[in-house]
A = this chain, B = another copy of it.
Amino acid sequence: MAHSLKIFCCFFFFFLFSTLSIIPLSHQLEQHPLDSLTPNEFIRVQAIVNQSHPSTINDITFQYIGLNEPDKQALISWLQNHRPTPITAPPPRQAFVIARINHQTHELVVDLSYDNIVSDHIHHGFGYPLFTFQEQNRASQLVFNHAPFLAALNKRGLKVEEVICETFALGWFGETKQNGRVVKVMCYYLDGTVNLYMRPIEAITVTVDLEAMKITHFRDRLVVPVPKAAGTDYIESEQKAPFGPELKGITVVQPDGPSFIIDGSRVRWANWDFHLTLDARVGPIVSLASIYDTEKQEFRRVMYRGFVSELFVPYMDLTEEWYYRTFFDAGEYGYGLCAVPLEPLRDCPANAVYMGAFVAAQNGMPIEMPNVFCIFERNAGDVMWRHTETMIPPDLITEVRPDMSLVVRMVSTVGNYDYINDWEFKQIGSIKVTVGLTGLLEVRGSKYTHKDQIDEEVYGTLLAENTLGAYHDHFISYHLDLDVDGESNSFVKSKLETVKVTDQTSPRKSYWKVVSETAKTESDAKIKLGPDSA
């Protein structure tokens, strides 16, 4: 699918982790103002909100609970006065809550020092809170009690027990009237494979009102063949010979243990010091990343706060069951909520250390996310800097500094698609952010079995019989609040500009020079990737 690359993605969910009731406050003696809410804090937040809006007389669901980020200036001032002994109080510890209460979206700030609600605002504008796993799960099960859907399966000769359904956000196409919290439900077929995404049941539209938790619209447009199961299973143990040569074992060994220290949410490695937490919506948040200056003998801040702010995945397909697919994988599904437990030795190497985190369930109670982060030192066999000097007799000087880095990884599986989210800290002082895209391709079922049959726009590439790889993009945006040596940072754009040499003073006809400009607004700082060097 070389040319439709921008692969594909999709969404959907399930109840990933088991709920916990009460977890004691952990090993961390002193709480940092940027630490995520503890399990006890989640429980207290839930109790405070429930007290003011009792669930006995209110219909209440928690769509999001997270730390209400303290004011930056207050935090910085506290930090500056904090060591060796705190002389000012930390900024107020607060939670930010988005709850649906009696079918309205409330944005609440809960103070955890005074155990009270600081503000309770009803949101009337555009936009909806994160979906919860529970409501998605309930919505996708509705079809199994919907006679027209069961008839549609019957018409296609499909067994209901092999059908798996998912919920899909609706997008926004300029409507001025809000339609309420509505999703579409689309289904897949197993029957001989675990790779449900390769077996879409096409041309059926099911619309569900999440508030009423009812199917409000159903249409079975036409029958499209379900692609066959053969050759789609990916479970390693199910694969049949012939296999290629097996590779011998290879592992990373650190006889003296790792060189990093994890102290609560704080991570220290080489010259780096940073704070790492998980948020249900945006996933990993790296804060207060600083680097130790060996000459000044002090830490110098590089980044105040960085995270993936959104993953926008629009599909390029106008058909009735596909046109609306323009997903916000963070804002609608939760990049952190969809994080999966990392598989030791496979998702991360042998020298990795794992960290867990907590998010809130729909009832506000904490859910444990075990192994949600791994942290490891990478020695990929690369060279950070080297030089061989042959010019100074009698010796050959060979100086080589191998490249070492620290990787913080989270994997978020949003439906068929797995995002591998890395923050890599390098000894040269740079931070490298990467999102790897893997998982299973989003495909659309089709009547076509050979590309020569296609004489219409099909919005994809025929990959196999009845299987179109769907054209789409993944746009990943980052929130990066860089504070290189403090807050007064500028963004300087430097362009290479060709200068023609018109006089006869040089045999050269041209050269380039560097033209720099300092961005005054965020919009000034836009760089269009282009043929110009910048």
Segment of A94-102, A119-127, A342-350, A353-361 engaged in the interface with chain B: A342-350
Is there an interface contact between A382 and B244, defined as CB atoms closer than 8 Å? no
* Min C-beta distance of A345 to chain B, whole Å: 8
* Min C-beta distance of A314 to chain B, whole Å: 8
A:75-106 near B, CB below 8 Å: none
Is there an interface contact between B318 and A511, defined as CB atoms closer than 8 Å? yes
* Min C-beta distance of A23 to chain B, whole Å: 22
Chain A positions 234 through 249: 1 when the CB is less than 8 Å from some CB of chain B, otherwise 0: 1110000011110111
A:353-411 near B, CB below 8 Å: 376-383, 385-393, 396-402, 404, 407, 411
Indicate if A251 sits at the interface (CB-CB under 8 A): yes
Is there an interface contact between A387 and B318, defined as CB atoms closer than 8 Å? no
* Min C-beta distance of A497 to chain B, whole Å: 11
Q: Which residue of B lies closest to A344 (CB)?
A: B400
Is there an interface contact between B340 and A512, defined as CB atoms closer than 8 Å? no
> Given A14-B390, A16-B390, are A253 and B250 also a contact pair (CB < 8 Å)?
yes
Residue among A248, A341, A501, A528 with most chain B CB within 10 A:
A248
Is there an interface contact between B386 and A381, defined as CB atoms closer than 8 Å? no
> Out of B242, B250, B252, which one reaches A297, CB within 8 Å?
B242
A377 proximity list for chain B (CB < 8 A): 247, 250
Chain A positions 259 through 302: 1 when the CB is less than 8 Å from some CB of chain B, otherwise 0: 10000000000110000000000000000000010110100000
Indicate if A256 sits at the interface (CB-CB under 8 A): yes
Cα A447 to Cα B266 with chains together (Å): 47
Is there an interface contact between B248 and A256, defined as CB atoms closer than 8 Å? yes
A392 proximity list for chain B (CB < 8 A): 164, 190, 194, 196
A166 proximity list for chain B (CB < 8 A): 391
* Min C-beta distance of A110 to chain B, whole Å: 30
> Out of B252, B295, B347, B533, which one reaches A250, CB within 8 Å?
B252
A196 proximity list for chain B (CB < 8 A): 389, 391-392
Is there an interface contact between B244 and A381, defined as CB atoms closer than 8 Å? no
A388 proximity list for chain B (CB < 8 A): 340, 411, 413, 418
Cα A528 to Cα B136 with chains together (Å): 45
* Min C-beta distance of A530 to chain B, whole Å: 5
* Min C-beta distance of A329 to chain B, whole Å: 15
* Min C-beta distance of A370 to chain B, whole Å: 12
Q: Which residue of B lies closest to A235 (CB)?
A: B399
> Given A242-B295, A245-B271, A378-B380, are A194 and B397 also a contact pair (CB < 8 Å)?
yes
* Min C-beta distance of A336 to chain B, whole Å: 15
Cα A245 to Cα B380 with chains together (Å): 20
A:313-331 near B, CB below 8 Å: 316-318, 323-324
A:155-190 near B, CB below 8 Å: 164, 166, 173-174, 190
Indicate if A56 sits at the interface (CB-CB under 8 A): no
> Given A250-B254, A471-B514, are A324 and B242 also a contact pair (CB < 8 Å)?
no
A398 proximity list for chain B (CB < 8 A): 340-341, 343
Some 5 contacts from A to B, beta carbons below 8 A apart, are A4-B514, A242-B297, A247-B259, A249-B254, A343-B400
Known: A250-B259, A341-B396, A343-B400. 6 other contacts (CB 8 A): A3-B492, A251-B252, A316-B512, A323-B508, A343-B386, A528-B531
A-B pairs with the 10 shortest C-beta distances? A3-B494, A380-B380, A346-B400, A173-B507, A14-B390, A316-B511, A349-B381, A340-B388, A248-B256, A247-B259
